[in-house]
Amino acid sequence: MSFRMHRLPIATPARESRVAWFLICFALIGVIVAADHATGYEVSLSVVYLAPVVIAAWMLGLRAGLVMAAAATAAWYVTFAGANPYPHPILHGWDALVRASTASIFALVIDRLRLALARSDERLVTVLEGLDAAVYVADNDTGALLYVNDRCRTTFGANVRMLTDIESRLVPSPATVVCAAAPVAQRELVDRVCGNWHLVNRRSVRWVDGKMVTLHTATDITQHKRMEGLAQDRQAKLEMSSRLVTAGEMASTLAHELNQPIASILNYNAGCVELLQTGTGTTEDVLEGLDKSSEQAERAGAILQRVRDFIARREPQFSSCELGEVMREAARLVAPHANRHGVRVDVEPTPDPIRVEIDAVMLQQLVLNLSKNAVEAMESVRPEERRLLIRWRCDCGQVDLDVADRGPGIPAELKPNLFIPFFSTKRDGMGLGLHICRSIAEYHDGHLSALENPDGGAIFRLSFPAERA
Ligand SMILES: Nc1ncnc2c1ncn2[C@@H]1O[C@H](COP(=O)(O)OP(=O)(O)O)[C@@H](O)[C@H]1O
Ligand SMILES: [Mg+2]
């Protein structure tokens, strides 16, 4: 079966068919000669004599074409010469010679054409056989496989006969969202038997016999998928380490923040104990003290939750937020760290609220990373000039969020490297902050750019659409 699939229609037919074609051609010569004779050679049928020659040369090769050329000329000679004497007998011979030569040249040309086509098909098959992808051609009506290449047989087995044999093995990955639409031209499918990934392309082509068929190519992309998975893991680890780095930096700030509610809880509790011991307070006084103590405990819980949200590895969670609220919260996170380094944090709110679809925690992390860089950049600047500005605006559905500093700015030669993981000009810098910021920008279908601050320093600008497509 697989051998038959390789054979092209142009190739020499089987023995029985050869005999059948010979008989057809001889019969055709008989019919033409009879018609020529019956019309008294008045109707010029000489061109028609070429038909059996062409058919024989195309179907059976040069030798068969030459046999037909000789047979057709002989038949014409025998029937014509007796009935229509030329003034000189040699003219009959000359006419026969011209006819035989013309027919032979036709047989030769047709045979050459046939060989050229066969070779071209052979070349195509050689290329297909050498391909690293599985190639298979299926009949559109029956689903039978008309051609499979070597790679296809090694991938899906030597016995594949029908398109369904292959399609029943290749299934979409459970993680892939499949649209219930017309067959897709290109799909990534998993082999149920061995778990390999294939990129399957399909297109309609006209087959050698003129019928429309579907040509499929299945390229093994398992290795590529593995690499993609590794890259994703690496990216996830990078993000995780960045979060941990940032969280580590936040820890001292948070310890500060946590001190306050814990101290308040202690105070309220001590107050309640005193009220109870001395009997000076009413039940309402004690309840009020305990209520306040609970409030402070909740505050401490919220602070801790913030850290947990921050550290947790998670997919982006988009929700509709008011950008101003998210940014003010981010500024609150930034302020203690900035203040400790003598940096004033300014927030430039917009007059109108801006609704955006974002992952608020991620966007806060972005502002935190950029602000941390800004604070570090301003270490060498005079204290009164250390200003960090967070501002945003929305224009025609496009949001621009700026974190601006008054540091030394970014040297032009560093710009191409800024977002490369582990690129850092700091002695103990991790070089992950900006890389993570760019991932966050991409999650929001936006981009992050480093600009020059006209007031001196750098501006990092995140531009993203307010609404997600
Ligand atoms: N606001 C800024 N001003 C000047 N240079 C900056 C600023 N932000 C980032 N950079 C440069 O980009 C580099 C990469 O930043 P980042 O990815 O956050 O890593 P790290 O802060 O650990 O060095 C920094 O080392 C610094 O050279
Ligand atoms: Mg940094």
Residues 378 and 446 in one domain: yes
**Which residues contact residue 373 at a Cβ distance below 8 angstroms, ignoring those fewer than 6 apart?**
405, 433, 434, 460
User: By three-state DSSP, how is residue 299 classified?
Assistant: helix
φ/ψ of residue 394, rounded to 5: -130, 125
Cα 390 to Cα 405: distance, rounded to the nearest angstrom: 9
Query: At which residue do the structure tokens 């229609």 appear?
Result: 9
Q: Determine how many CB atoms are found less than 10 A away from the CB of residue 53.
A: 29
Whichever domain contains 191, its CATH number is 3.30.450
- Which tokens is 205 given? 């082509």
The percent of the chain in helix, strand and coil, each rounded to the nearest 5, is 55, 20, 25
Query: Are residues 56 and 25 in contact, defined by beta-carbon separation less than 8 angstroms?
Result: yes
Q: Where are the alpha helices (DSSP H) in 353-454?
A: 360-377, 433-443
Residues 297 and 362 in one domain: no
Residues 302 and 325 in one domain: no
- Domain-located, residue 6: no
Whichever domain contains 445, its CATH number is 3.30.565.10
* pLDDT confidence of residue 3: 36
Calculate how far, in angstroms, residue 388's C-alpha sits from the geometric centre of ligand 2. Answer: 15
Q: Which domain holds residue 69?
A: 15-130
Whichever domain contains 259, its CATH number is 1.10.287
From atom 12 of ligand 1, which residue's Cα is the shortest distance away? 418
Residue 449 host element (H or E): strand 447-452
Which of 70, 98, 130 is the last residue in one of the domains?
130
Residues 324 and 424 in one domain: yes
Residues 396 and 451 in one domain: yes
Calculate how far, in angstroms, residue 232's C-alpha sits from the geometric centre of ligand 1. Answer: 24
pLDDT in tens, the chain (469 residues): 333 444 444 445 667 788 999 999 999 999 998 998 888 877 777 788 999 999 999 999 999 999 999 999 998 888 887 777 677 778 888 888 999 999 999 999 999 999 998 888 888 888 888 889 999 999 999 999 999 999 999 999 888 899 999 999 998 865 444 433 445 578 889 898 888 999 999 999 888 778 899 999 999 999 988 888 787 777 677 666 666 666 665 665 566 667 778 988 999 999 999 999 998 888 899 999 999 999 989 988 887 877 676 666 556 789 999 999 999 988 888 887 888 889 999 999 888 999 999 988 889 889 988 999 999 999 999 999 999 999 999 999 999 999 999 999 999 999 999 998 889 999 878 787 898 888 889 989 999 999 999 999 999 999 999 998 7
Residues 331 and 411 in one domain: yes
Calculate how far, in angstroms, residue 349's C-alpha sits from the geometric centre of ligand 2. Answer: 25
Which of 185, 220, 255 is the last residue in one of the domains?
220
Calculate how far, in angstroms, residue 376's C-alpha sits from the geometric centre of ligand 2. Answer: 8
Q: Determine how many CB atoms are found less than 10 A away from the CB of residue 279.
A: 7
- The residue type at 19: V
Cα 122 to Cα 369: distance, rounded to the nearest angstrom: 62
Ligand nearest to the CA of 421: 1
Residues 106 and 153 in one domain: no
Bridging pattern class, strands 212-220 and 447-452: unpaired
Q: Which atom of ligand 1 is nearest to the CA of 405?
A: 1
- Domain-located, residue 239: yes
Which of 291, 311, 331 is the last residue in one of the domains?
311
For ligand 1, pick from 368, 414, 424 the residue to mutate: most ligand atoms within 8 Å of CB. Answer: 424
- Which tokens is 275 given? 């009220």
Residues 393 and 359 in one domain: yes
Calculate how far, in angstroms, residue 249's C-alpha sits from the geometric centre of ligand 1. Answer: 16
- Domain-located, residue 341: yes
- Domain-located, residue 3: no
Bridging pattern class, strands 344-348 and 319-322: unpaired
* pLDDT confidence of residue 126: 87
Residues 282 and 296 in one domain: yes
* pLDDT confidence of residue 7: 45
- Domain-located, residue 240: yes
Q: Which atom of ligand 1 is nearest to the CA of 457?
A: 3
- The residue type at 285: D
Those residues whose beta carbon sits under 5 angstroms from the ion ligand 2 are 373, 433
Residues near ligand 1 (Cβ within 6 A): 373-374, 377, 405, 407, 410, 414, 418, 423-426, 429-435, 458
- Which tokens is 172 given? 């979409």
From atom 10 of ligand 1, which residue's Cα is the shortest distance away? 373
Q: How many structural domains is the chain composed of?
A: 4
- Domain-located, residue 4: no
Residues 122 and 139 in one domain: no
End-to-end CA distance of the chain: 51
- Domain-located, residue 2: no
Residues 231 and 216 in one domain: no
- Domain-located, residue 138: yes
Cα 286 to Cα 275: distance, rounded to the nearest angstrom: 7
Cα 136 to Cα 152: distance, rounded to the nearest angstrom: 7
Ligand nearest to the CA of 429: 1
Residues 54 and 30 in one domain: yes
User: By three-state DSSP, how is residue 167 classified?
Assistant: helix
* pLDDT confidence of residue 176: 45
pTM score over 0.75: no
Cα 15 to Cα 3: distance, rounded to the nearest angstrom: 17
Query: Are residues 330 and 364 in contact, defined by beta-carbon separation less than 8 angstroms?
Result: yes
Query: Are residues 388 and 345 in contact, defined by beta-carbon separation less than 8 angstroms?
Result: yes
- Biggest alpha carbon distance in the chain? 155
